[in-house]
Chain A
Amino acid sequence: MRSCRRVCAGMAMMGTGLLSGCVNVSAPSEPIVIELNINIRQEVIYRLAEDAASTIEENADIF
């Protein structure tokens, strides 16, 4: 039973290998741009909330 499983797995691998052939990975021509502005995470805002609140109180003249 065990050996069958191994053999079957091997056969399946060979099958997929034969079907798909080579896997081509090509680099994208366009540079990868990460948009940081929309990527601000909620947990960061939560972490800074308390500090931001005290900053506003400390600088009451500009808030």
Chain B
Amino acid sequence: MTTYRRITALAAIAAAGLAIITVPAAAQQRDPAYAAARANGSVGEKPDGYLGIVSTPTPALQRLVNDINIKRRAVYAEKAQVNNATLEEYALSSGCQAILRTVPGEKYQAPDGTWHTRTQAAPFRDPRCP
């Protein structure tokens, strides 16, 4: 019984340790190629919660944007379910926040579809955004 308990305790500690290791690994920084594309304005944030190509699309840029958007969609789907919302609702709500978090110089898309460079001023967002 004591041995069983000890094993259980050890397993719990191991599981907790794994969780600690996994969480910071998920919250990584942007890939250098993605960070560069944001900084030089070739990609920008769209109101629907996804990344868009601002300049002329190249295969490399398209791959980068698709890769990010597939990952975002997976996160939105999971979080939408937890919050009893639809994927589109969660994505749009995230778009509001993502545009708000752009830094001056980065690109974002206004509700009318035009691309803007973020300045110190508040960005043009969907009227439903908080």
* Neighbouring B residues of A24 by C-beta, 8 Å: none
Range of interface residues on chain B? Answer: 20 to 34
The answer to whether the Cβ of A13 comes within 8 Å of any Cβ in the partner chain is no
| B30 A46 Cβ-Cβ under 8 A | no
| B79 A55 Cβ-Cβ under 8 A | yes
Report the bound CA distance from A45 to B86 in whole Å: 11
Range of interface residues on chain A? Answer: 20 to 34
Report the bound CA distance from A55 to B90 in whole Å: 10
Chain B: CB-nearest residue to A57: B27
* Neighbouring B residues of A52 by C-beta, 8 Å: 79, 90, 93-94, 96-97
The answer to whether the Cβ of A58 comes within 8 Å of any Cβ in the partner chain is yes
The answer to whether the Cβ of A30 comes within 8 Å of any Cβ in the partner chain is no
| B75 A55 Cβ-Cβ under 8 A | yes
Least Cβ–Cβ distance between A30 and chain B, in angstroms = 24
In chain A, residues 43-63, which have Cβ atoms closer than 8 Å to a Cβ of chain B? 44-49, 51-53, 55-63
Listed A/B pairs (18) with beta-carbon separation below 8 Å: A36-B86, A40-B92, A47-B83, A51-B83, A52-B94, A52-B97, A53-B97, A55-B94, A56-B94, A57-B27, A58-B26, A58-B27, A59-B26, A59-B27, A61-B27, A61-B28, A61-B29, A63-B72
For the A-B complex with A45-B89, A55-B94 known, give 15 more contacts whose Cβ atoms are closer than 8 Å.
A36-B86, A44-B85, A45-B96, A45-B128, A45-B129, A48-B93, A49-B97, A49-B130, A51-B93, A52-B79, A52-B90, A57-B27, A58-B26, A59-B26, A62-B75
